[in-house]
Amino acid sequence: MLAATAKTAFSRLPQAFERLGAGDDPEAISHALTTCRRVIDSFADAVYPPRQDPALIGEQLIEVGAPHTRNRLRAYVHEQIGGRSRYDRLSRGIASLYERVSAGVHADVNVGEARALVLQTYLLLGEILTLP
């Protein structure tokens, strides 16, 4: 599903795993997490391209332009399932994952955590694609 919907995002995932094969090298880990962030950005571009006008989630207007990846994913999920508890969980997951892969660029993350983040990226995007 990911390959069919977001080909660029899907094609980048193996690159993240490949970089982690370098072991506990901080630079390789940083590259892997940067790739994860780009995977998430590419996925957002595919499912909810940037828009000039804000999106409405509940009673809140959110910016959904190009730099607002997390907001665009939240808007996509909201359009699919509305404001239910699953939306709240996925919204928190999107924010947490994006923050963690972005922090890995500036902070030391061990290879075990980096592997978990790459897998979580794949799983979260897959779950979003299975929404009704």
Query: Would you place residue 104 in the very low, low, confident or very high pLDDT band (cuts 50, 70, 90)?
Result: low
**β pairing state of 60-62 and 55-57:** antiparallel
Over residues 24-74, the pLDDT tens digits come to: 788 888 899 999 999 999 999 999 999 999 999 988 999 999 999 999 999
**Alpha carbon distance 36, 119 (integer Å):** 10
Q: Collect all residues with Cβ–Cβ distance below 8 Å to 128 and sequence separation of at least 6.
A: 43, 47, 73, 76, 77, 80, 90
N residues, the chain: 132
What integer pLDDT is reported at residue 86 of this predicted model? 92
What integer pLDDT is reported at residue 26 of this predicted model? 84
* pLDDT, mean of residues 10-16: 87
pLDDT: is 121 or 21 the higher one? 121
Q: Could you say which DSSP state residue 64 is in?
A: -
Locate 17 and state its tokens: 């795993």
**Alpha carbon distance 81, 72 (integer Å):** 14
pLDDT(107) > 80: no
Over residues 73-102, the pLDDT tens digits come to: 999 999 999 878 999 999 999 999 999 998
